[in-house]
Structure 1
């Protein structure tokens, strides 16, 4: 199984999926799964940007909304956890995990899934020493 791991997508799914296609074509391989390790930014609409934990000057729609609406479908199964730059209103709706869009799965604030013969677990959030003991706000 070939798994691609992405750091922070920041909502730019088109660019990441184009890169995966490029890798598949140039190396003659098939990527079976994409893991995104936080800062996915599942922004569905303008209202979601009100809860996006990003300074206003950096708030952009990017391309997740196309996958959420069904205009586009992720070309590779995608699993993500939340980071510190997320549209928290939407991810709270999927607290225990769930399909954020067709072929795109959110692991929830803490979750484990099985994909093929591997088990994948994740914890959303970010470690910040001064806020670590505060709990969820």
Structure 2
């Protein structure tokens, strides 16, 4: 069984929340925020000014990526997240291209999957803290 030691050993609520929202099992809030930002040129997704809620979710997600990066020092999730942000901006700016709507969703899923893989290591290592920081 793979154990996310960083998440389980964290005691501060904000840091624990930041770790939680970056794992693939808890990807729903960032996917909802992505959909909310993709609806910006049309109308609010849930309520007026829901962009502030989505911005907060993005800040927590980015904080979680930063905390994970401090542990595994791999740039791939950050690069995918940057591609996600660029593709999301491109979709809002030039939304007439249907395929452009899939790119933000796929890159955020890829970001979460890679981040979790780097954080917990491979199947050969159940506890990345015992196996070293190479993961």
Q: Normalising by the residue count of structure 1, what TM-score does the alignment of the two structures yield?
A: 0.30
With CA pairs under 8 Å and 6+ residues apart, which has the higher RCO, 1 or 2? 2
Look at both structures and tell me which one has the larger radius of gyration over its CA atoms: 2
Q: Normalising by the residue count of structure 2, what TM-score does the alignment of the two structures yield?
A: 0.30
More helix by share: 2
More strand by share: 1
